[in-house]
Amino acid sequence: MVSLSLPGIIDAHVHLRDPGATHKEDAYSGTVAALAGGIIGVLDMPNNTPPTVDRRTFLQKREILKRKAVSDYGLFLGYDGRSIAPLLELSGQAVGLKLYLDETFGDLTTEEPESLASAFEAWPGPGPIAVHVEDAAQPPESDSIDVALTLAHRYDQPLHVCHVPHPDDLLRIERARQQGVRVTCEVTPHHLFLSTNDLPRLGAYGQMKPPLISPADVARFWQRLDLVDIIATDHAPHTRAEKESTDPPPGVPGLETMLPLLLRAVDEERLTLERMLELTYHNPLQIYGLRPPEDSGVEVEMGARYRLPAGGYQTRCGWSPFAGQWAMGRVLRVRLRGQVVWEEGRVLVQPGYGRALARG
Which residues are at the interface with Zn ion (CB under 5 A)?
A: 234
Q: How far is the CB of 332 from Zn ion (least distance, A)?
A: 29
Nearer to Zn ion, 106 or 354 (CB): 106
Q: How far is the CB of 232 from Zn ion (least distance, A)?
A: 9
The Cα–Cα gap between 160 and 5 comes to: 29
Q: How far is CA 175 from CA 133, 146, 152, 239, 283, in A?
A: 17, 11, 14, 40, 20
Nearer to Zn ion, 167 or 237 (CB): 237
Q: How far is the CB of 98 from Zn ion (least distance, A)?
A: 9
Phi/psi at 35 (nearest 5 deg)? Answer: -60, -40
Q: How far is the CB of 104 from Zn ion (least distance, A)?
A: 7
One DSSP character per residue, 115-139 reads HHHHHHHH---SSPEEEE----SS-
Nearer to Zn ion, 108 or 336 (CB): 108
The Cα–Cα gap between 255 and 299 comes to: 16
Listed in order, strand segments (DSSP E) in 201-251 are 230-231
Question: Within 10 Å of residue 350's Cβ, how many Cβ atoms?
Answer: 8
Q: How far is the CB of 41 from Zn ion (least distance, A)?
A: 17
Nearer to Zn ion, 133 or 290 (CB): 133
Q: Which residue is nearest to Zn ion (CB)?
A: 234
The Cα–Cα gap between 301 and 330 comes to: 5
Nearer to Zn ion, 14 or 336 (CB): 14
Sign of the CA dihedral running 15, 149, 177, 171: positive
Q: How far is CA 27 from CA 103, 228, 240, 263, 267, in A?
A: 24, 28, 19, 26, 32
Q: How far is the CB of 290 from Zn ion (least distance, A)?
A: 19
Nearer to Zn ion, 51 or 329 (CB): 51
